[in-house]
Structure formats: C-alpha cells, structure tokens
Amino acid sequence: MSETEQPLVGVVMGSDSDWPTMEKAVEVLKQFGVPYEARVVSAHRTPELLVEYSKSAYKRGLKVIIAGAGGAAHLPGMVASMTILPVLGVPVKSRALSGMDSLLSIVQMPKGIPVATFAIGDAGAGNAGLSAISILATTDQALACKLQKFRDDQRDMVLEKVLPPQS
C-alpha cells in the first residue's frame, strides 16, 4: 500500500504465523489496487490493542476488516463485537485439528454479532479478500468494473478448458 493512501481494509491476524494464510487476502487486495493495512492483533496476548484497533477502525476510515486466527480463534468475533464494520473471518489451519477448531470458533457467533466466515486456510483468505472487494464495489464503480472483469476472466478460463487435458 502506498504511504499516502488511506487504508480501506484492515487485515488482522492473531499471530505472525498466520501471515502465510492471510497474505492470500492481501494479494487479492493488491491485485485490485485496494489500500489496506495489515497487522498482528492478538485477542489473547494484546487485548488492549484489540479494543483500540476495533473501536477506532470506523473513525480511521476502514470499510471492512478481514480477521484471521487459528486455534481458539476469538479474534474475528471480538473485533466484530466492537465495530459496526463488516468483519470477514478466516479460520487459519491449526496443527491440532487442521483448522476445524478455528472454523467452529469463528462461525458460531451469537445472534446480533455477525462474522461472515470463510473456508479454512488459503482459499478462505483469498475469498475474504474478494468479498471485501465486493463490499467496496457497491459504492465504487471503477472497482465494480475491475471485479466484473475478474469474474469474466474466471468464466472464460473455465470455458476454454478442453478435456481430456492436452499435454
């Protein structure tokens, strides 16, 4: 992101070990030219930072927050509890339960505090990035055109496939 651009999307994760997954969301944001900020905000190790980040996000001009975490994965839900912004939750694959613990921690939010939850791992992070683009595109015509072109390119790629695959 350019130093002069106001970030529109916050990408937060519970640990720097979540970066290889959350980087997939960032790659999508970069592809579409959407300014973002990315940082570690641990629900368990930095609760004061979590509160400050979540409560200030709207006033700082963010429009969407993508929050990823593994294990107990309280970060997305806690962020959602402290902001009116859309929160997109990404379960990060864990060693113990392959990310099922993360998924269930994020998806089972109580009524009234929504977190849009995505697939475990890289695909979920990439789709969270695309969903953030979709949200922003509702008020940004240029971004909507880029997203439509992306979708058209995806369609064309499938239509060009030949079976059996040619070597």
pTM here is 0.95
Give the tens place of pLDDT for each residue, 117-136. 999 999 999 999 999 999 99
Average pLDDT score over the chain? 96
Give the strands of the sheet with 116-117, arranged side by side.
36-40, 9-13, 64-69, 87-91, 116-117
Fold of 9-159: Rossmann fold (3.40.50)
Read off the pLDDT band of 167 (50, 70, 90): confident
Radius of gyration from C-alpha coordinates of the chain: 17
Spatial distance between the Cα atoms of 103 and 92, rounded to a whole number of angstroms: 8
Predicted local distance difference test score (pLDDT) of residue 4: 64
Domain boundaries, the chain: 9-159
pLDDT in tens, 46-92: 999 999 999 999 999 999 999 999 999 999 999 999 999 999 999 99
pLDDT of amino acid 2? 44
